[in-house]
Amino acid sequence: MHLQSFISWLVLQLSVLAKSRFRLMARVSSSNPDAVGAVLRKMVKGGTVRVAEGEFVLEIDIEGGSAKELNRSLLSTLRRVEKRTRLRAEWTSDDGMTERYFDYVLKKKFKTDPS
């Protein structure tokens, strides 16, 4: 293995091992709310899932490699149940960095005061 390949591999391995803590606040809507709601309630342990204005509202603390990775994983899981599912998510890390997503797309990234 060449040195550059090894370094790239090592960086990838370390990024997988590095876990950060995130606070997720999200709204989920779907054309099949019964099926999506059942999956959400199974997935969100230690957080809350409630219904407001025809959408599911999630609040949970979760660990992962990045907000992008966690967002993709959550939406992919929900879309396996119902393709017409939308996710509006706000992921805030312990260091106060907030990322807002609409489905898979990062819409805004900003720093907030950790409180």
pLDDT digits 0-9 by tens, 74-101 = 999 999 999 999 999 999 999 999 999 9
pLDDT given for residue 13 in this prediction? 57
Domain boundaries, the chain: 19-111
Residues of the chain with pLDDT under 70: 1-18, 114-115
107, 72, 65, 88: CA torsion to nearest 10: 40
Please give the backbone phi and psi of residue 65, each rounded to the nearest 5 degrees, phi first: -70, -40
Q: Domain 19-111 belongs to what topology?
A: Alpha-Beta Plaits (3.30.70)
Query: DSSP string spanning the chain?
Result: --HHHHHHHHHHHHHHH--EEEEEEEEEEES-HHHHHHHHHHH--SSEEEEETTEEEEEEEEEES-HHHHHHHHHHHHHHH-SSEEEEEEEEETTSEEEEEETTEEEEEEE----
